[in-house]
Structures are given as structure tokens and as C-alpha cells.
């Protein structure tokens, strides 16, 4: 009986020894693992900072990549892309800037015929030319580039400018007491009706104010609204024609107050060109 307990005691002692050894090993392993963990943490004390820097780098890189991709799509966009349409409109804007200070003045009948002739030999063509030159001089003083054009000037073909105005005057024959005043009109079938209506509106308001002549809408003729130059110039050039007054009843204004006539025309053009309200 004794031997059995003795053997059992030895076996128990061995098992406890093994357990202790295993426990010690586990404890040492745990401590070692903690040391490694601490050491690895301690060896990169700026770890979180680096990670943040890395994230920031990735975000910035992505943004740059997106920007480059957008740029690439802009330059290789299909023809009907809206931004390309805007890009193709840019040259038109450049053209507008280049012509924004250019004005064409047609000196009515000049180079072709006399127009109406008064009993004393005064011709409409010379009255018109006097006005055209005064208008051109005043516009140039204000910094505009002015072309004074003949009635059938070759330069009218596809003429491009901020505005074109043809200057004429009405009959020198006595018709009746109503044959007085001025009128302005644009082409009947306008390509740029809003612009041309504004041009006519500006001239009507400013010319009337400068000369005191009344607007004689009743005598606007088919010849004015189908005026030949309207069909020769570039369609986008806003154009109008003015009949400055009747050479019979309004002769004093047209000849003795020619500077007022010119001022009224210039004021009207500047009103239009500077987008002033009528």
C-alpha cells in the first residue's frame, strides 16, 4: 500500500513540476511578447503622424489625378460637348473685342449719284458727306475707329464692325407742312433684331434731342428697310439708316446746325455702343 502512495506522490510532484515549468514558459513568452510589442511601438514613436501624412498624401495624389483626368477630358472632348462649344466661341469674342471700337458710316449717294437736288444746286450727297465727316471726326475724338464709306463701297461686302450707319437726307422739293423731321430704320428681315432695334432706338432718342427735329415715322419707306447695304455687310453687324431731315423745310438745321446733326448721330451711336439706356 505504501509503495503505491509513494509512486503516486512522485507522479504528482512531476506533474506539478511540469505545470510550473509550462506556466513559467507561458509567463516568459507573454513578457517577451509584451516586450516585442512595446519595442515595436517604441521604435516608431511617430507612427500615427506618419499614417496621417500618408493619408494626406493619398488624398492629394487622388485630387491631382482627378484634375489631370478632367483636363484630359476637356482637351479630347467630343465636338458637341458644351465646354468645347464655349471654347469655339472664344475666337468670336476676340473678334468682337477687335471690332468693338469700329464704326462704319455710309455717306449717302457718295461715289454714285447726287441724291435729291435743291433748286439752288445743293445736293443731298454733299449734305450727307458734310454730316458723315463731322460724325467721323467726333467719333474718332472719342477713340473709335471709323470707316467713311461710299454708297456702294466695295468694303461693304461682309463689313464687320460694332455698328454701321448710313446717312441720308430727304427730298428738297416742297411736299406739304408735314414733310419735316427725321427717321431711322433697320433692315426689315434683321439677323440681329434686338441689337438693331436698340441702335434705332438710341439714334431716334439722341438725334431728336440734339436737333429738336421730330421723328417722322409715317415716311419710313420700303427703300429704307430694304436698303442695299443691309444685304452686303456681315449679318451680325448691327446696321441702320437715318434720314436726317427734309432738305426743304429742315434745311436750316441740316446746313447751319450741321454740328448738332453730327452730335445727335454720334450720341445715338455712342448710346448704342456703350449700352446706355435710350
For residues 58 to 77, the per-residue mask of contacts with Zn ion, x marking binding by CB under 5 A and - elsewhere, is --------------------
The minimum distance between CB 151 and Zn ion, in angstroms, equals 9
By CB under 5 A, the residues from 152 to 191 that bind Zn ion are 168
Q: How far is the CB of 148 from Zn ion (least distance, A)?
A: 16
Minimum CB distance to Zn ion smaller for 43 or for 222: 222
| Nearest distance from C-beta of residue 127 to Zn ion, angstroms | 10
* CA neighbor of 221 nearest in space, from 273, 185, 257: 185
Q: How far is the CB of 75 from Zn ion (least distance, A)?
A: 54
- Pairing state of beta strands 239-246 and 163-170? parallel
The whole-angstrom separation of Cα 54 and Cα 38 is 23
Measured from the CB atom, is 115 or 238 closer to Zn ion?
115
245 in contact with Zn ion (CB under 5 A):
no
Gap between the Cα atoms of 145 and 235, Å rounded:
20
Least separation in angstroms between residue 222's CB and Zn ion is 14
Long-range contacts of 124-128 (CB under 8 A, 24+ apart): 124/168, 124/169, 124/172, 124/247, 127/169, 127/244, 127/247, 127/254, 127/255, 128/167, 128/168, 128/169, 128/244
Stretch that binds Zn ion, among 101-109, 144-152, 224-232, 251-259 (CB under 5 A): 101-109
Q: How far is CA 112 from the centre of its chain?
A: 39
- Please tell me the distance from the alpha carbon of residue 79 to that of residue 85, in angstroms, as a whole number: 8
Q: How many residues bind Zn ion (CB under 5 A)?
A: 3
The residue of the chain with the least Cβ separation from Zn ion equals 168
Cell for 122? Answer: 445743293
Query: 88 by DSSP, 3-state: which?
Result: helix
**Closer residue to Zn ion in complex, CB, 104/108:** 108
Q: Which is nearer to Zn ion, 14 or 112 (CB)?
A: 112
- Answer yes or no: are the C-beta atoms of 246 and 118 closer than 8 Å: no
Rounded Cα gap, residues 141 and 134, in angstroms: 11
Q: Rank residues 134 and 168 by Cβ distance to Zn ion and give the closer one.
A: 168
The CB-of-83 to Zn ion minimum distance in angstroms stands at 48
Q: Is 115 in the site for Zn ion (CB under 5 A)?
A: yes
Of 9-17, 115-123, 157-165, 193-201, the segment contacting Zn ion by CB under 5 A is: 115-123
Which residue, 131 or 198, has its beta carbon nearer to Zn ion? Answer: 131
Report if residue 238 touches Zn ion, rule: CB under 5 A: no
Distance CA 243, CA 183 (A): 5
Whole-angstrom distance, CA of residue 259 vs CA of residue 244 = 12
**Rounded Cα gap, residues 61 and 67, in angstroms:** 10
Q: Which of 104, 108, 238, 245 binds Zn ion (CB under 5 A)?
A: 108
Residue 160 burial (C-beta neighbours within 10 Å; 0-12, 13-18, 19+): middle
Instruction: Supply the minimum distance, in Å, between the C-beta of residue 108 and Zn ion.
Output: 5
Considering the complex, state which of residue 117 and residue 192 has its C-beta at the smaller distance from Zn ion: 117
Least distance between Zn ion and beta carbon 241 (Å) = 9
Based on CB atoms, which residue is closest to Zn ion, 115 or 245? 115
User: Where does this chain bind Zn ion (CB under 5 A)?
Assistant: 108, 115, 168
Amino acid at each position: 500500500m505504501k509503495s503505491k502512495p509513494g509512486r503516486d506522490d512522485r507522479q504528482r510532484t512531476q506533474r506539478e513540476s511540469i505545470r510550473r515549468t509550462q506556466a513559467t514558459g507561458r509567463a516568459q513568452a507573454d513578457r517577451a511578447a509584451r516586450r516585442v510589442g512595446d519595442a515595436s511601438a517604441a521604435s516608431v514613436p511617430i507612427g500615427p503622424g506618419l499614417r496621417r501624412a500618408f493619408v494626406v498624401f493619398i488624398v492629394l495624389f487622388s485630387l491631382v489625378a482627378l484634375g489631370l483626368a478632367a483636363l484630359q477630358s476637356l482637351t479630347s472632348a467630343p465636338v458637341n460637348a458644351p465646354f468645347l462649344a464655349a471654347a469655339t466661341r472664344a475666337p468670336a469674342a476676340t473678334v468682337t473685342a477687335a471690332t468693338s471700337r469700329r464704326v462704319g458710316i455710309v455717306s449717302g449717294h457718295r461715289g454714285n449719284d447726287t441724291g435729291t437736288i435743291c433748286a439752288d444746286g445743293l445736293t443731298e450727297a454733299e449734305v450727307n458727306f458734310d454730316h458723315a465727316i463731322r460724325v467721323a471726326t467726333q467719333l474718332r475724338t472719342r477713340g473709335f475707329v471709323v470707316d467713311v464709306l461710299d454708297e456702294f463701297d466695295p468694303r461693304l461686302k461682309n463689313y464687320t464692325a460694332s455698328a454701321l450707319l448710313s446717312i441720308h437726307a430727304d427730298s428738297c422739293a416742297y411736299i406739304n407742312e408735314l414733310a419735316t423731321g427725321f427717321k431711322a430704320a433697320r433692315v426689315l428681315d434683321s439677323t440681329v433684331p434686338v441689337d438693331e432695334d436698340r441702335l434705332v432706338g438710341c439714334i431716334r432718342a439722341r438725334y431728336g434731342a440734339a436737333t429738336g427735329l421730330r421723328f417722322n415715322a409715317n415716311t419710313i419707306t420700303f427703300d429704307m428697310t430694304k436698303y442695299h447695304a443691309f444685304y452686303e455687310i456681315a449679318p451680325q453687324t448691327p446696321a441702320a439708316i437715318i434720314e436726317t431731315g427734309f432738305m426743304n423745310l429742315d434745311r436750316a438745321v441740316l446746313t447751319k446746325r450741321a454740328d448738332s446733326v453730327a452730335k445727335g448721330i454720334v450720341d445715338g451711336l455712342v448710346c448704342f455702343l456703350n449700352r446706355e439706356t435710350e
